[in-house]
Every structure is written in structure tokens, then in C-alpha cells.
Structure 1
């Protein structure tokens, strides 16, 4: 972790060399999800609710997913841009260093300008929480934090899987965006508004439902029966990283060096 902290320090200093550019980019990152949230507002203004979900409830779901995505983009960006390391042969240097390739790729790039998205998500989260009639307790606050962490692990896992494909394709595949950008857009709504096969896929294969739906029911006092499974559902999102790392190590073993 000391080495990881050093990576963060070095890349933060390098990005702050052009502060005006950094803050303009961060402001742009703030506006992008804000425009999406505005579209969400106008949709509910027109239809009132979606399958029993009120605007403030969906806004809570929206903020959790976008916060998770912003944090993952910031700290796992190295995997998202991994194809450049393979294409240029720079990954060869990672293999001869006495540190994990996962740690080195994580530390190869950080996007601190994503703080704009993060701030926007925090604002929406604060407003959405204030609008809920459910009683908020410390336990619910911990579950909320747990949901955000779980979402970060899911998006990071998807970035890792997308990066692993580069060992065979060299260039990154756009199909991965279906599960990153597409997953974010899908998961900003409670999962039960979709068809059953979508709900099942994004619960048992890519466990977004364990972040944006099951624990959300607990936060809003909509659970039936024992609330413990709803509270512990985000564990599935954290465990999602395990098979992703296993696939990554398989990909590393099949990597063909450039020989340069």
C-alpha cells in the first residue's frame, strides 16, 4: 500500500502541473452526469413514478451507482486504458518488476478529474437521503457505504475483465463498454423495472442487483421477511473481483512479449 500511495502522489502532482486544465476537465465531468440527472428529473415530472418507485428513491439509486463508477474510474483507470500498455510493449517492464502486475497496472494511471462526477453524486445523494421518509440509522449508513464500496469492486472487476481481453486482441474491445458505461446507465434505476432475464443476469452473473436493488429495499424499509440478506447482499459485489482477478492471471500467463 505504501507503493500504491506513492503512485497516487506522483500522478496527482503530474496532473496538477496544469491546474486550469485539470479544473476545467473536472467541471466538465460534473456537468455530464448532471445532464443525465436532469433528464431523469424531467422523465419523472412527466410520468410521476416508474413501477412504484418515486423520483427521490431512484435518485438515491442513481447517486450510489454514479459515485461507485466515479471512484472506480479514478483509481482503476489503468485497466481501462490497458490496451495502450500492451500495444506499446510497456507491459513487458511490469513483468520483470518484483511487484504484482495488478498493483502496477492500478498505479499506472489515475483520473483525479473524476472528482467532478464524485461531487455531483454526493450532492444528489445528500438530497435523496433528505427526501426519504424511512428512519435513518447508523446501520443503514453503514449499508449505504457498503453499497458504494461494492459498486466500486464491480466496476473495477469489469475493467479488469476488459483489460484481460487485450492479451488476445491487443486492442480493447468496444463490447466491454456494454458492461461499463451500459452497466452504469442500467444500474442507475432499480433493477426490478427490467425484464426478468435482465434482472437475473445482473444479479447472478454481474451482481449490480446486489448494489442498486436488494440493499436499497432495506434502506427504504421495503423488505419482506428477514432484512439480513438484503443488508449483506453487497458482499456479492465485493466477491465479484475474485473471479476477475483469476481470469487476469490466466491472461498474464498467455501474454506474448513483444521481444523488444
Structure 2
């Protein structure tokens, strides 16, 4: 982890060499999800509720998934832009270093400007929770934190899977955006507003349902059955990262050097 934080510090210093550009990009990133949230607000202004979900309940769901996405986009950006390492032959250099390839790819790129998105999502989170009658206790606070952490790991897992495909395709596949950007847009609403096959896919295959829906029911007091089952759902969703790492290791073993 000390090496990882060294990567962070070096890249942060390099990005701060152009401070005006950095702050302008961060400021711009603040307004990107704000426009999406404005659309959400006007939707509820028009219809009042969606399948029994009120505005602030969906706003909480929105805040959690966008916080998870912004954090993963910041810290897992190396996998999102991994195709450039393959094309330029720089991945060969990573492989000869005595450190794990996952750590080195994570440390190859950070997008600190994405903190603008994170700040906006935090504001929405505070606004939503202050307008919801939630009986906050230690377990609910822990569940909320696990929801965000699980979302980060799920998005990071998708980035890893997309990066692994570059070992065979060289170029990154745009289809991966269906599950990153598309997954973010889909998961900003509770899953039960969609068709059943969508709910099943995004619960058992790509487990966004363990982040934005099942534990959300517990937070809002809408769950039926054992509270503990709903509380540990984010932990179960976090396990998604492990098969992604296994697929990555398979891809690394099948990688053929550029020879340059």
C-alpha cells in the first residue's frame, strides 16, 4: 500500500502542474451529474412518484451509485484506459517489475478531477437523508458505507473485465460502457421499476441490486424478513471483484509481448 500511495502522490503532483486546468475540469465534473439529477428532479415534479418510490428515496439511491461510480472512476482509471498500455507496449515494462500487475495498472492513472462528481453526489446524499425519516443507528450507517464500497468494487470489477479483453482485442470494446456508464444510469433508480429479467441480471450476474435496491429497502424500513440478510447484501455484492481478478490473471498468462 505504501507503493500505491506513492503512485497517488506522484500523479497528483503531475496533475497539479496545471492547476487552472485541474480546477476547471473538477468544476466541470461537478455539473455533469448535476444535469442528470435535475432531470430526475423534474421527472418527480411531473409524476410525483415511480412505483411507490418518492423523490428523496430515489435521490438517496442516486447519490449512493454516483458516489461509487465517481470513486471507482478516479482510482480504477488505469483499467479503464488499459488499452493504451497494450498498444504502446508499456504493459511489458509493468510485467518485468517485481510488483503485482493489478497494483501497477491501478497506479498508472488517477483522475483526481472526478472528485467534482463525488462532491456533488455527497451534497445529494446529505439533502436526501435529511429529508427522509430514517432511524439512523450504527448498523444503518455501516450499511450505507458498505453500499458505497460495494458499488466501487463492482464498477472496478467491470473495468477489470473490460481491460482483460484488451489482451485479445488490443483496443478497448465500447460494449463495456453498457455496464459502466449504462449500469450507472440504470442503477440510479431502484431495480424493481424495471422488468424482472433486468432485475435478475443486475442482481445475480452484475450485482448492482446488492448496492442500490436490497440494502436500500433496509435503510428505508421497507424490507420484509430478516434485517441482517438485507444488511449483508453489499458484502455479497463485493465478492464480484474476485472472479474479475481471476479472469484478469488468466488474461495476463495469455498475454503475448509486443517484442519491442
Q: What's the TM-score, normalizing by structure 1?
A: 0.99
Q: Deviations over 1:131-171 (max 9, x none)?
A: 11121112111110010000000000000000000000000
* Aligned position for 2:237: 237
Q: CA-to-partner distance for each residue in 1:16-69, whole Å, 9 max, x for gaps? A: 011110000001100000000000000000000000000000000000000000
Corresponding residue of 1:99: 99
**Any idea what the Cα deviations from partners look like across 1:57-90, whole Å, max 9, x if unmatched?**
0000000000000000010000000000001100
CA distance in 2, matches of 1:237, 1:110: 24
Aligned to 1:156: 156
Alignment correspondent of 2:10: 10
Secondary structure of 1:128's match?
Answer: helix
| 3-state SS, counterpart of residue 73 of structure 2 | helix
Q: CA deviation at 1:207?
A: 0.3
Matched, 1:130 2:125: no
Flag structure 1 segments of 5+ consecutive residues without an equivalent: none
For residues 175-196 of structure 1, the C-alpha deviation after alignment (integer angstroms, 9 at most, x for no partner) is 0000000000000000000000
Q: Does residue 118 of the first structure (1) align with residue 105 of the second (2)?
A: no
Question: Shift in Å at residue 225 of structure 1?
Answer: 1.5
Q: Which residue does 1:186 correspond to in 2? A: 186
Q: CA-atom RMSD, angstroms?
A: 0.5
- Per the alignment, residue 141 of structure 2 pairs with 141
Offset at residue 237 of structure 1 (A): 2.0
Q: After the TM superposition, which residues 55-74 of structure 1 pair with which residues of structure 2 at under 5 Å, given as runs?
A: 55-74=55-74
Please report how far the alpha carbon of residue 229 of structure 1 lies from its aligned counterpart in structure 2 after TM superposition: 0.7
For 2:249, the equivalent position in structure 1 comes to 249
Deviation >4 Å, runs of 4+: none
CA distance in 1, matches of 2:5, 2:237: 25
**Gaps spanning 5+ residues in structure 2: where?**
none
Q: Secondary structure at the match of 1:151?
A: helix
Aligned pairs (5 A) from 1:42-57: 42-57=42-57
TM-score normalised by structure 2 residue count: 0.99
The size of the alignment, in residue pairs, is 260
1:214 equivalent to 2:214? Answer yes
- Where 2:189 maps in the other structure, the secondary structure is coil
Question: In the aligned structure 2, how far is the partner of 1:257 from the partner of 1:54?
Answer: 54
